Amino acid sequence: MAAEVPEDNAPDECPQVRDLAEAFKVLSDANRLRILFHLATDTTGTLGVSDLAARVGISQPAVSQHLKLLKSDGLVESERVGFHVNFTLNRARMVQIAGQFEQVRSIVLSRCNQQLVREKIPEGPLNIAIIYYSYSGITRGLMEKVQEVCGGDLIEIHTLKKYRSFTAFTTGCLRSRNEEKDQVTPDTIDVSAYDLLVIATPVWAWKPAPAANSLVSGLIGCAGKKAFVCTTYSSNPGHCLPILKKNLEEKGVVVAGEAAFSRRETEDSHHVMELIRMIIEAYQT
Ligand SMILES: Cc1cc2nc3c(=O)[nH]c(=O)nc-3n(C[C@H](O)[C@H](O)[C@H](O)COP(=O)(O)O)c2cc1C
């Protein structure tokens, strides 16, 4: 059996681990959770030890002990008013704990995803080029998650002339509707060494952003290559993927898979996992 790592020497993978462990210790008691529930649903802000004892159905000294622990972790705050002490929930601390838990959960999930890829691809990371344009970071964030799990090279395309939000929705959308190209950097990308291209763009006016048209047109050595196309959108992806596919096929690229992600889905680990599974499938076919 592996020896337990002494607390002080534990190499914390996530800096919040110890803080979260303390919070979980405090939360690991049904009566303390009941107290938190009553404080969370109380709208008066005047609950005292005797009120909580009556609501939870335990003695006042027991409630006092639980409140002491909850206060020591910052989950509960108190205020003395004359002879009475009012207890309230510290919502900021609850939000902090929820955020820390989410961080740990996503680290664990990403490790699980990497493990899954290792099982599916025993020979190592995928030989893929992940090429994308991103205006406000959503597509970038999604592609970074793909790269974190699958490996491969991340290549971001930038417009030479930056869009402001006004010009994006005026000039940018007009250019996108006309399926025009922007001047971008890099303007050419040699993809001859890769086994799969992952091409991603945000939807602009129901079509690929103009920079994505330039991206496709600047591909070198892509004839006969497989591609997986991906788009992120807010409410309606329109014709974005069909146009992206048509442009790639005109360059001799074989489109082996596609996915459209709403902004909310880019934050959902199950959807991201499904995207990764589809990319691996496209890689292996
Ligand atoms: C100029 C512009 C036009 C857009 N047009 C559409 C659209 O037609 N349909 C849609 O669902 N979302 C549209 N969106 C929203 C983006 O597609 C969506 O927020 C996307 O995830 C942003 O990706 P990014 O952060 O990588 O740029 C548009 C956004 C911008 C800036």
DSSP string, 38-85: HHHH-SSS-B-HHHHHHHHTS-HHHHHHHHHHHHHTTSEEEEEETTEE
Separation CA 75–CA 93 (nearest Å)? 6
- pLDDT of 50-109, one tens digit each? 999 999 999 999 999 999 999 999 999 999 999 999 999 999 999 999 888 887 777 777
Q: How far is ligand 1, taken at its centre, from the CA of residue 136, in Å?
A: 9
Helices assigned H by DSSP within 151-239: 165-167, 173-177, 210-217
- Taking the CA of residue 203 as reference, the ligand 1 atom at the shortest distance is 17
Separation CA 110–CA 53 (nearest Å)? 43
**pTM of the model as a whole:** 0.70
Residue among 254, 265, 259 nearest 201 (CA): 259
> What CATH topology corresponds to 121-284?
Rossmann fold (3.40.50)
Amino acid residing at 268:
D
Phi, psi of 223 (to 5 degrees): -60, 130
Q: Report residue 19's pLDDT band, with 50, 70 and 90 as the boundaries.
A: confident
Q: Domain locations in the chain? A: 14-94, 121-284
CB-defined site of ligand 1, < 6 Å:
134-140, 168-169, 172-173, 202-206, 232-238, 263
CATH placement of domain 14-94: 1.10.10.10
